[in-house]
Amino acid sequence: MKTSELAEKLGISPQMCNRLKKRGMPCDSLQSAIEWRKRNLDLTQTKSWRIDGNQGVKPVSIETLGGDQAFDSETARRALTHTAPDLWFSQVNRLDTALKEHGVTLSAEKLLEVQATLFLLYQIETDRFFGAELVYSIPPVLGIRPGNENYPSMIASLERALNV
């Protein structure tokens, strides 16, 4: 598989793909590369866990999507169960900024608990809107719970980012 093709499918740059190849990532198939990344990369050092929200992709403007075209319900469902959670609930710094502006400071652990509660309330309201229990894409930052081997490094990284 070509480096550029593999990089695109992994959602990383070709340069990063080459660096990972040098570290031992197999490039024979997408699945083997994904498995290697799961075993060998620290979750807090991947795009899916960036606290600043930079996912490394350019946002798509509404004009690109067709401007005044009405979205069908499946598109709306996908946007509310995958895109919106990724945009709003994976970036804990947004909540921290809003709280700090109102004089509220929380530890990284409490901030994650508040973010998880807000995500649950979001799910309840979205399910109520559609009249069904939907399947959501849970942001990686909310998927790591105490007891998980990555939890301490995630909290330390979050504390550093929040105290900047």
CA distance 133 to 124: 8
Q: In the chain, how many domains are there?
A: 2
pLDDT at 126 over 50: yes
Same domain membership, residue 145 and residue 96: yes
Q: How far apart (Å, rounded) are the C-alpha atoms in residues 49 and 34?
A: 16
Confidence label for 13 from pLDDT (cuts 50, 70 and 90): confident
The pLDDT, as a whole number, for residue 77 is 84
In this structure, the answer to whether residues 81 and 41 fall within a common structural domain is no
Token digits of residue 120? 């649950």
Lowest mean pLDDT among 40-49, 94-103, 123-132: 40-49
| Co-location of 120 and 157 in the same domain | yes
Q: Given this model, what pLDDT does residue 64 score?
A: 44
Residue 61 reports pLDDT greater than 70: no
Other C-beta atoms closer than 10 Å to the C-beta of 104 total 11
Nearest 10 degrees: Cα torsion 149, 98, 11, 38: 0
Q: Sign of the CA dihedral 146, 149, 155, 158?
A: negative
Question: Domain for residue 78, yes or no?
Answer: yes
User: What integer best gives the mean pLDDT of the chain?
Assistant: 80
Claim to verify: residue 90 and residue 9 sit in the same structural domain: no
What is the percentage of the chain residues whose pLDDT exceeds 90? 11
Residue 60 lies in a domain: no
Same structural domain, 34 and 75:
no
pLDDT score of 164 more than 80: no
pTM for this predicted structure = 0.54
Q: Which domain holds residue 126?
A: 71-163
Q: What is the mean pLDDT of residues 152-162?
A: 82
Question: Is residue 83 located within the same domain as residue 148?
Answer: yes
The contacts of residue 114 (CB under 8 Å, 6+ apart) are 95, 106
Work out the burial of residue 93: count CB atoms within 10 Å of its CB; fewer than 13 is exposed, 13-18 middle, 19 or more buried: middle
58 domain residue, yes or no: no
Averaged pLDDT for residues 138-154: 85
Based on the fold, state whether residues 26 and 104 are members of the same structural domain. Answer: no
Structure tokens, 57 = 């992709």
pLDDT at position 162 = 74
